[in-house]
Amino acid sequence: DTAVSQTPKYLVTQMGNDKSIKCEQNLGHDTMYWYKQDSKKFLKIMFSYNNKELIINETVPNRFSPKSPDKAHLNLHINSLELGDSAVYFCASSQTNPLGNSPLHFGNGTRLTVT
């Protein structure tokens, strides 16, 4: 059983297209995230949702729109794709607790290539 699963694993598309990446977690966690990993392996937070509510929105272009239909799912829709959007996108989840500091559980990533 995959704890955090995201689809598709690979996504190749042309500039200007719109695409979506789906993520589901079966860990019962209440918080989900999207991270972007660039070609130099740098991991940067994009969004975070807690119980379907957006709680963190870093400086990400408006072309990126996350949607959380329930606390087990967090999808990422990207409009008007650009070459610079090429990266690996990771979904992650965690369970908040009074002390914070909950470990993140990552999916295996979606490699997006924009041509």
Query: Under a CB-based contact definition with an 8 Å cutoff, are residues 6 and 25 in contact?
Result: no
Peptide bond into 8 cis (omega under 30): yes
Residue 17 C-beta: closest distance to another protein, Å:
24
The single residue among 12, 15, 27, 43 that binds another protein, judged by CB under 8 A, is 43
3-state secondary structure of 84: helix
The stretch among 12-20, 50-58, 65-73, 79-87 that binds another protein (CB under 8 A) is 50-58
| Interface with another protein, residue 92, by CB under 8 A | yes
d(C-alpha 34, C-alpha 4), whole Å: 12
Q: Checking phi first, is residue 60 left (phi over 0); if not, alpha (psi -120 to 50) or beta?
A: beta
Name the residue nearer to another protein (CB basis): 52 or 106. 106
Binding residues (CB under 8 A) for another protein: these are 4, 31, 33, 40-45, 48, 50, 55-56, 90, 92, 96, 99-101, 103-109
